[in-house]
Structure 1
Amino acid sequence: MNEEIYEVVKTFPKFSEFLNSVTTDGEINIQGWCENIKQEYSSYVYYDIENICPVVIRYLTKLKENTHEYNTKEGCNYLYYWLYEKAHKNNADDLTFTLYKSLLSNFGDYQSEICTFNVDKITGDIFQKLKDLYNLYDHFDKFQKKETCNSSTCNCAQECVDIYNKLEDSCSNDSYSSFCIELDKFGHKYNEHMKDNDTCEHTLKSVRSFRKNNLQVILLPPISIILVISFILFILYKYTPFPSWLLLRIKKNKRTRNYLNDESYQLLHNDKSRMDNSQNEPYNIEYHSVHDS
């Protein structure tokens, strides 16, 4: 999931709005649903279980009811991110993962299961990258909707530029990682949108790609293969009877070719002689016939 989750971060702003809209949904009766979870995690100070569990139950219920509008896998990835955000400062990686699985299991006790696919644990490093991508898309989403950031719509675009440029060091040595590929996709999306935008005169209209046409990356695999093959041939030549065997093999093949060539030549020569003789026979017969008459 660590690679896949970067691909769905662009949908997180949408699911954030979705979660906020169902938080106070009084139509969903959750009485008794969270009692086991509250007891199990009552001693964990990192989470406000009493408030988190009802939100999760409402969120999963509405997500299940709206699969025609919301992608389940994307929604479940956001839920895991949202839970992690609640306690990331406490380095509670294992606890968050366990709580996420427990909440899904608890939901499955009352309704058919959702979020049944496997997930990997989010670590602090992965979370920070997810958060950076999320902030990029969140500000970009607000800019597209002409909402304000610090009293100005253009500030939303400027925030995108600032966050994007801040991440250059993250991709300087590994520009083809899943994170940097998604970052590059955002850059293309931003540039495409700003190309036809005539507002925000003081905001950068395009950001540069961190993924360069790196000849080292392109040429490294074939060069490595050539070096490995050369090394193997050197070892074979230096420390094994391979050269002698190869030389004998070449000589044998050469003798075989010479023999075949001689045979072919002899066959062609014999065929030609037979053809010449056969062509002369009619004339001889005709000559004798005339002479006899």
Structure 2
Amino acid sequence: MSYKIQTKYKVASAYTTYKDKLLSYSSDVKTSSMPGCDSFTVQQINIPKDNFPKLCSTVIKFLNNLKENSDTYRDEGCKYLYYWLYVEKLKKNTPISNTLTLYKELNNIFNKNNEGLNNLDNYINEMNQNTFDKIVKLTELYEKFNQFISETRETSREKKCTSDCFNLYTSYVNECRNGDDTDFCYELINFRNQYNAYIQTQLFCKGEEYILPPVQNFDVIGIIIIPIILILVTPFILSLLYKFTPIGTWLPQQIGISKNIVDNINEGENHLFNNYDMDTKISKKPNYIIAYNS
């Protein structure tokens, strides 16, 4: 089992949880309009006016669900909701900034008319266009991977070792290397580990051409794990060395010897300083010239 790095984009790999919840709310034909949604509209959003009330009600129900759950669930749900609005409902035909405006207007209705109590404000306000852009890219990458898994599990299909993920992943790796978003790079590492494991252990595809290349030219996971292991293991190793090897008796002796040397040096220095003080005092005494009668 490969180590998974925790990132702020981890919702991309868990998106199905929130997608299914939103689907259940939006497909409910008996759904009633939520307070504040009947006359809701946003000028910058290019969808039929009649679609706004249902969109609003679906989102408010979803936000209510988030409010009743854990911090992690809230954080991931708020991030996925943006993806759902931008990709699923607006089909990427609306600028990211306008989608964010729609999102915040819906949250205002949730707070003012549906006892939202500003519980989700922190999760929503901390996001920006860069965060949204990365969430969209990573979620689409995982979606393509899940589609690939579904296709390869169909018994009627012939064995397939390549997918649409390859080129998409490669383009994101280049973006990672040229940028400064560490979490984005780490999430690509998580994706690569999951994808390559499926290719090699489930599809049994052999050959370097079928696996995704590394995100970086060095082992990032190793760099993270090795110092942690060293910190945890070092006290244990030292205790064993102290108990079961000569170092247990040798070390205190060396410490004692070193201490004696230091003490002797200090004593010698003190002695020198004392002699110096005495000489100084003697030198400072007045010299008397005695005259003798010749």
- Aligned mates of 1:176, 1:108 — CA distance in 2: 32
Determine the structure 2 residue equivalent to 1:163: 168
Determine the structure 2 residue equivalent to 1:91: 95
C-alpha RMSD of matched pairs (Å) = 4.2
What amino acid is aligned across from residue 37 of structure 1 in structure 2?
F
- Aligned mates of 1:153, 1:128 — CA distance in 2: 35
Indicate which of 41, 59, 71 corresponds to 2:73.
Answer: 71
- Aligned mates of 2:141, 2:152 — CA distance in 1: 15
1:262 aligns with 2:267: no
What amino acid is aligned across from residue 95 of structure 2 in structure 1?
N
Q: Is the 8 A contact 2:45 2:94 kept in 1?
A: no
The CA deviation at 1:9 is: 1.8
Q: Is the 8 A contact 1:157 1:203 kept in 2?
A: no
Deviation digits for residues 127-155 of structure 1 (CA, Å, limit 9, x no counterpart) = 44333211211122233445789x96966
The CA deviation at 1:198 is: 3.1
- Aligned mates of 1:16, 1:156 — CA distance in 2: 27
- 3-state SS of paired residue (2:199): helix
* Higher Rg: 1
Q: Is the 8 A contact 2:35 2:113 kept in 1?
A: no
- Aligned mates of 1:112, 1:31 — CA distance in 2: 12
Determine the structure 2 residue equivalent to 1:46: 46
The CA deviation at 1:54 is: 1.7
The 5 A counterparts of 1:206-217 are: 206-213=211-218
Change (3 A) 1:200 1:19: farther
The CA deviation at 1:164 is: 1.1
- Aligned mates of 2:168, 2:27 — CA distance in 1: 32
- Percent identical among aligned pairs is 21
The 5 A counterparts of 1:186-205 are: 186-198=191-203, 204-205=209-210
The 5 A counterparts of 1:110-189 are: 110-113=113-116, 115-118=120-123, 119-123=125-129, 126-146=131-151, 158-174=163-179, 177-189=182-194
Deviation digits for residues 78-107 of structure 1 (CA, Å, limit 9, x no counterpart) = 1122333427555351x3323212212212
Deviation digits for residues 182-237 of structure 1 (CA, Å, limit 9, x no counterpart) = 1111111112222312366799542121222399xx9xxxxxxxxxxxxxxxxxxx
The 5 A counterparts of 1:49-60 are: 50-60=50-60
Q: Is the 8 A contact 1:56 1:103 kept in 2?
A: yes
Q: Is the 8 A contact 1:97 1:121 kept in 2?
A: no
Q: Is the 8 A contact 2:33 2:57 kept in 1?
A: yes
* TM-score with structure 2 setting the length: 0.58
- Aligned mates of 1:183, 1:47 — CA distance in 2: 34
Question: Can you give the 5+ residue segments of structure 2 that lack an aligned partner in the other structure?
Answer: 1-5, 224-265, 277-294
Q: Is the 8 A contact 2:199 2:211 kept in 1?
A: yes
The CA deviation at 1:16 is: 2.6
- 3-state SS of paired residue (2:194): helix
- Aligned mates of 1:148, 1:195 — CA distance in 2: 15
Indicate which of 62, 84, 87 corresponds to 1:82.
Answer: 84
Change (3 A) 1:97 1:198: closer
Q: Is the 8 A contact 1:46 1:87 kept in 2?
A: no
- Aligned mates of 1:11, 1:32 — CA distance in 2: 30
Question: Can you give the 5+ residue segments of structure 1 that lack an aligned partner in the other structure?
Answer: 219-255, 267-293
Q: Which has the higher contact order (CA 8 A, sep 6+)?
A: 2
- Aligned mates of 1:87, 1:171 — CA distance in 2: 25
The CA deviation at 1:261 is: 3.8
Indicate which of 108, 111, 117 corresponds to 1:108.
Answer: 111
- Aligned mates of 2:218, 2:96 — CA distance in 1: 39
- 3-state SS of paired residue (1:35): coil
Change (3 A) 1:92 1:137: closer
Q: Is the 8 A contact 2:189 2:214 kept in 1?
A: yes
- 3-state SS of paired residue (1:44): coil
Q: Is the 8 A contact 1:187 1:209 kept in 2?
A: yes
The CA deviation at 1:121 is: 4.7
